Structure 1
């Protein structure tokens, strides 16, 4: 163990050790040189002893109780502490506001000794402990816990700011879509961070609204007194008449209609003005914004040195001040002078174009979107949970940037008197949905629960699920699991060519991909369960740029190849996550389906279902001249047979296989070719080395190069090959082991054959004469004969026709037939 610090006093001695001797694997780009150990005594009689020590701090400073420096402590690290009272009979106790931190501490020697382990888990930041001696609070000591996977001064603060920014943006969309204004709370004003984030969200729209007002201002009427010559007065009102009667005014008296009137009198004509109550209200709001921005800017200006993130924030504030200054110089706002009247209300302000938008935005800003809830209160605690929240909100933001605001945010926010409550909470399912066109919807779920007993044996709870719902396609899903853990060992890097999440976290992704099932709604006759997750990724905190070698790592490459992998994600590094998400969001059902790794059995089953619909002609060779006929077919790549009006399959042949008789060696089917085209010709028009026996219509098939079968189909003593050849399907040709099995053209017949082989039943196959097949209801012509004398044949939609040696024949489904035979 490594001794980190000791606090030695006349009341007690506390020793703090790190269990692990070697330094912790730290992946953050900038690590603290010095940690924190601030001592605050609460007992006037407390005295410091010379045995004080702090790792990494000079001895002269280590003994100085007023020095706040100490060794840095780290998250996810095991520490041991030993606290002992100075005198016999003393009882000591160590307290922390989070009981989880101290739950592994034990008391011994009648309370004189407290010892045990401390692990801050994912909590970072300053942590305060209190030491009590004989029930009296004696000393507080404060340490600081640093993250090992992210930068404390940049990544962590960026995560907190990013969470606030994303939520404020979503909250703004929520209030805008539902037209709810919330309630201003005087005792809980919005934080500077919330206010800054909100003004950044609304400034563009506010700019547009104010420019509209500047271009189309609504002017008011005002009456101002002025002295005017009599001949220039246009409107005679009661005030003018009163001055005439009373002889008021300026200048000499003149005669006017028998009356003596002054040359100039006072009038109050109506004039248009931009100095309206509405413009005064807008100006006052903009002045308040400018003043608040200045106050926040002063905070940054007073700091001796700014981090890169705070420097960007300061520059952003300067830009905002410049934009607000420009709005204050717009003519309608510049002409407004003074304050609006007390209790001022205006229908124009809330309804006129431009004015209503500016009013709504400024009221949003004045109230501040006060966000509260488990996520907002998280602060510096539980970094692992904060990282999980942030990754979910980042996924939402990436999809929002692509498809616009979510459709419904009612489940994410709740309006309260003090503001908006964020309903995002670990362990509880939340979702937002996006419209991705008329026929497609994307849902992003947080903590989805898969506990349906019809689809799940053990409940599954991934962190994030991206669900694609598209007309004509089954549900397709991506899983993202936030893992605030990194394996930084050399062995791990050699295996995966990069640092990344622990292997157990990747194994969980394999489980999610295979265990999350959906009921296939297209299945009408039975419950059909299908896998819906095509890819699963672990999200872990590392700063890796797009031009880094992470693309060459197995963690990234396996996402496309295996459907399981890992992606580094931090506020300064979302490019890989964005690339992965958008590659799915910008694809349709076909391309998404291509990502799924199909079961080899499923693919073969699907291929054989297609093969059961493709007609194959088993062609025979003339005799005598068998070898000559075969050589001609191979060289000319053609095969012909008499045209039969009653055989529609001649029009749909996909392949031609050649039966080789015993005269050329072992009899069987050994060659096959694909049909490229066919035509109807007379026999006399087909040039062959032998003369036609008669002229008749023929079907001439033009073939691809003749190739050998992957496996010869043998001719047994029980087999028979008609001289005119035989019809089958590609299913029969590819699966048959003997010529008689070639006649099994349908999937149900092959299912029955497999069961008979698996149960080692004795049977033989005999064929009915060839018949025309109904493409919509194909029937088998192979009878399966058993030793008992019973026999069965597939009869299309009727099922299997069971004809016993004695008794009446019956129809069975394949399942019922197997149960009947097994009874």
Structure 2
């Protein structure tokens, strides 16, 4: 059992362990050096103890509650936690939004101790726990869960971006143990799931705004007719005078100043009222919220038994309905009757205190959501579900690249809802068809079910089915099963000569191949059954370079020899899947093409993918004393930089490159060194020929011998180097030809750049202002500008953000953007 971190305070102590040292096989190319442990105290009397520790974090920082770094946690890994109250008689409790993650925790010693296991299963992202002492919320701590089989900053993000390209809320759920960060989007109305996430996000602020309105309402003036005694009339207006002249009114005639008039006259005095158009508009919005919550609640009311997650969701909706009912009973809202006119607009509604906040928050409910940003917590689907959706989409795209768009593209977007969960529709109706010639058709089906009693003894349901229909030939089918599981044991590798999906997943493919049968209409016997699946492959998430020995593995070779095998598939490596599919798409199912030999371009592409995950610091030289600083770096082989809590890349820098300014000749990046180690020191502890300007925490990098770069990165008239230096990756450093290109840190940006060069398109690169990168969602700061004035930038999980001169901005994956440009 490995001790990962301890939170020690005067109120409690929490220890978090990993149960087994080598429980998970870490197969991703780039694993995090630092994870996340963010502490948020809610008790003013909370004090930190010296026993605080975080595995992998220097002792000097482990006790710093404001430092968000901690040990990384992983999917499909069992952790053990032990929480104990610090004082006799104190009871402790640990809570989480998702009841599933805490169901294995037990309370003992009359509530003084909580212990048990935690397993995030296939959920990736941040997870927030709350510690309660004696029923009072004392501390929140947030950890981050990383995948072990795929790269978090490239493969995972592209999987999410591709799934979002079908339907945004197809990528996430309402309630899960982990979350990603998202933002509001104005490009479409929200689904029920998105709407409920938004109403939860804004309700506290909406409650505050509505209470402000109730305490300081803005009243309107209204005139209502009433019959009043003559002596009580305070204001004589034209209406009163008219009634006197004409003898109108009620009661007996009386004489007053020589005039005969009635005892009672009708008047219309001005009165203050809360029944204003603004209050009517607010009431209508709240009634709509209550109605929508009721519709969502009905989904769960119809179910006899609810799972713990669905029960927690139902309880949350009930609480929201109760809070809305309280707002509807506030005096200004309760007094409002009727509807405002169509298209109602009011300066008071958008500018008055309380009203403007309520208006802005209620308008947020008209927006959708996107999985990028830092405003809203979004619970993403389990990774195995996302992986299954992504593999289906990838198979469709590979065939689409070969034969053009499908004949029924709308079928790809069919979804079904189960409560607040949205899934791809399954079965025979979820299929897309491609015309592969005059007499040939290819169909790709998602989760078809074979349950015909004439052809199947036990129903079969593969993930993906590729069906070839050609005149004069029987039905030919390929099966692809997405398996987000890997057996990385030595025994498995010895048997199959590679890591791959578990043996039971391979056995399922044998069953599909033998159990999925078609009635041969050419047979005289109507029940003549024939096997139609010629090959079945398990698709599993693993990065294997083209020059690896996977082609010699039994998993790959058995595809041709036995018709059953396995293929590694990730966004950064679809070459094997593409080869397998195109061998059938181009030549038919009877004869599979020989496997292609890996080329040097594939090997270099793999190296660039790895380089895109390695952080590089572009260091600058002090001025004055530029030459002295450079000489000192080369002789001492160290480089220092102020420590920044918001810059996690400081913890895992692979290389430091030095920018040489114009004062030493031609400006550019000329030298580079590998980072051997780093440490945190005060500036006064670093011995330099010059005196420090001030004492502050520094990150001191110890370097290998500084060497000239194989190729200098030149400084052009359009380039700019900030005085504090710049971050990039080894990919940006090794591929850049100019200082501006160094800012291209990610693989998608370089893929776009290569395509632009290959197609000889005219463009320029302009950099947006520098900002801290989000480790979960790195985004490019380089805009590619085209002659037309249109521009595009890599925008993380959403793919590429396209901003045309005319029209609405859109998000594309790289593949779709290239097709859009070539169209």
Q: TM (normalized to structure 1)? A: 0.47
Output the CA distance in 1 between the equivalents of 2:721 and 2:754.
Answer: 23
CA apart distance, 1:479: 0.8
> Structure 1 residues 364 and 470 mapped into 2: Cα distance closer, same or farther (>3 Å)?
farther
Output the CA distance in 1 between the equivalents of 2:89 and 2:681.
Answer: 116
Output the CA distance in 1 between the equivalents of 2:807 and 2:185.
Answer: 89
> Structure 1 residues 659 and 81 mapped into 2: Cα distance closer, same or farther (>3 Å)?
closer
> Structure 1 residues 608 and 473 mapped into 2: Cα distance closer, same or farther (>3 Å)?
farther
CA apart distance, 1:529: 2.6
> How big is each residue's C-alpha offset from its partner over 1:305-364, in whole Å with a ceiling of 9 and x where there is no partner?
999999999999999999999999999999999999999999999999999999999999
Output the CA distance in 2 between the equivalents of 1:377 and 1:601.
Answer: 40
> Structure 1 residues 329 and 572 mapped into 2: Cα distance closer, same or farther (>3 Å)?
farther
Match of 1:237 in 2: 237
> How big is each residue's C-alpha offset from its partner over 1:84-105, in whole Å with a ceiling of 9 and x where there is no partner?
2334443322222222222222
> Structure 1 residues 15 and 434 mapped into 2: Cα distance closer, same or farther (>3 Å)?
same
CA apart distance, 1:119: 0.9
CA apart distance, 1:37: 0.6
CA apart distance, 1:547: 3.4
> How big is each residue's C-alpha offset from its partner over 1:365-389, in whole Å with a ceiling of 9 and x where there is no partner?
9999999999999875412211111
The SS at the match of 2:286 is: helix
CA apart distance, 1:195: 21
Output the CA distance in 2 between the equivalents of 1:7 and 1:635.
Answer: 42
Output the CA distance in 2 between the equivalents of 1:471 and 1:729.
Answer: 53
> How big is each residue's C-alpha offset from its partner over 1:554-597, in whole Å with a ceiling of 9 and x where there is no partner?
11111000101111111121111011001111124654799999
CA apart distance, 1:51: 2.1
> How big is each residue's C-alpha offset from its partner over 1:447-470, in whole Å with a ceiling of 9 and x where there is no partner?
222233333333222211111222
> Structure 1 residues 689 and 449 mapped into 2: Cα distance closer, same or farther (>3 Å)?
same
Output the CA distance in 1 between the equivalents of 2:44 and 2:701.
Answer: 109
Deviates more, 1:366-375 or 1:539-548: 366-375
> Structure 1 residues 107 and 585 mapped into 2: Cα distance closer, same or farther (>3 Å)?
same
Output the CA distance in 2 between the equivalents of 1:5 and 1:642.
Answer: 26
Which structure has more relative contact order (CA 8 Å, sep 6+)? It is: 2
Match of 1:271 in 2: 271
Output the CA distance in 2 between the equivalents of 1:54 and 1:615.
Answer: 23
Asked whether the equivalents of residues 164 and 171 of structure 2 are also in contact (C-alpha less than 8 Å), the reply is: no
Output the CA distance in 2 between the equivalents of 1:49 and 1:798.
Answer: 42
Output the CA distance in 1 between the equivalents of 2:243 and 2:141.
Answer: 86
Output the CA distance in 2 between the equivalents of 1:647 and 1:187.
Answer: 32
Deviates more, 1:252-261 or 1:424-433: 252-261
CA apart distance, 1:545: 3.4
Deviates more, 1:536-545 or 1:643-652: 643-652
5+ unaligned residues in a row in structure 2: which ranges? none
Output the CA distance in 2 between the equivalents of 1:67 and 1:661.
Answer: 34
> How big is each residue's C-alpha offset from its partner over 1:720-768, in whole Å with a ceiling of 9 and x where there is no partner?
9999999999999999999999999999999999999999999999999
Deviates more, 1:100-109 or 1:213-222: 213-222
Output the CA distance in 1 between the equivalents of 2:354 and 2:431.
Answer: 34
> How big is each residue's C-alpha offset from its partner over 1:18-63, in whole Å with a ceiling of 9 and x where there is no partner?
0103474211111111111111111222222222221122222222
CA apart distance, 1:399: 0.7
Asked whether the equivalents of residues 534 and 597 of structure 1 are also in contact (C-alpha less than 8 Å), the reply is: no
Question: For residues 497-516 of structure 1, what are the structure 2 equivalents within 5 Å?
Answer: 497-516=497-516
Output the CA distance in 1 between the equivalents of 2:647 and 2:28.
Answer: 76
Deviates more, 1:789-798 or 1:286-295: 789-798
CA apart distance, 1:148: 0.9
CA apart distance, 1:630: 101
Output the CA distance in 1 between the equivalents of 2:596 and 2:36.
Answer: 51
The SS at the match of 1:83 is: strand
> How big is each residue's C-alpha offset from its partner over 1:514-568, in whole Å with a ceiling of 9 and x where there is no partner?
1222233334544223222111111111222333322122111110001011111
> Structure 1 residues 653 and 45 mapped into 2: Cα distance closer, same or farther (>3 Å)?
closer
Q: State the superposition RMSD in angstroms.
A: 30.6
Asked whether the equivalents of residues 371 and 420 of structure 1 are also in contact (C-alpha less than 8 Å), the reply is: no
CA apart distance, 1:605: 51
> Structure 1 residues 139 and 462 mapped into 2: Cα distance closer, same or farther (>3 Å)?
same
Match of 1:134 in 2: 134
Asked whether the equivalents of residues 224 and 268 of structure 1 are also in contact (C-alpha less than 8 Å), the reply is: yes
CA apart distance, 1:438: 2.9
> How big is each residue's C-alpha offset from its partner over 1:707-727, in whole Å with a ceiling of 9 and x where there is no partner?
999999999999999999999
Deviates more, 1:178-187 or 1:218-227: 218-227
Asked whether the equivalents of residues 182 and 416 of structure 1 are also in contact (C-alpha less than 8 Å), the reply is: no
> Structure 1 residues 334 and 252 mapped into 2: Cα distance closer, same or farther (>3 Å)?
same
Output the CA distance in 2 between the equivalents of 1:785 and 1:370.
Answer: 25
Output the CA distance in 2 between the equivalents of 1:129 and 1:796.
Answer: 27
Deviates more, 1:625-634 or 1:432-441: 625-634
> How big is each residue's C-alpha offset from its partner over 1:768-802, in whole Å with a ceiling of 9 and x where there is no partner?
99999999999999999999999999999999999
Asked whether the equivalents of residues 162 and 390 of structure 2 are also in contact (C-alpha less than 8 Å), the reply is: yes
> Structure 1 residues 703 and 469 mapped into 2: Cα distance closer, same or farther (>3 Å)?
farther
Asked whether the equivalents of residues 372 and 422 of structure 1 are also in contact (C-alpha less than 8 Å), the reply is: no
Deviates more, 1:399-408 or 1:312-321: 312-321
Larger-Rg structure = 1
> Structure 1 residues 666 and 514 mapped into 2: Cα distance closer, same or farther (>3 Å)?
farther
> Structure 1 residues 179 and 205 mapped into 2: Cα distance closer, same or farther (>3 Å)?
farther
- Count of residue correspondences: 823
> How big is each residue's C-alpha offset from its partner over 1:261-292, in whole Å with a ceiling of 9 and x where there is no partner?
99999999999999999999999999999999
Deviates more, 1:689-698 or 1:577-586: 689-698
Asked whether the equivalents of residues 429 and 447 of structure 1 are also in contact (C-alpha less than 8 Å), the reply is: no
Output the CA distance in 1 between the equivalents of 2:25 and 2:242.
Answer: 95
CA apart distance, 1:121: 1.1
Asked whether the equivalents of residues 224 and 270 of structure 1 are also in contact (C-alpha less than 8 Å), the reply is: yes
> Structure 1 residues 483 and 608 mapped into 2: Cα distance closer, same or farther (>3 Å)?
closer
The SS at the match of 2:547 is: coil
Output the CA distance in 1 between the equivalents of 2:731 and 2:285.
Answer: 78
Asked whether the equivalents of residues 672 and 707 of structure 1 are also in contact (C-alpha less than 8 Å), the reply is: yes
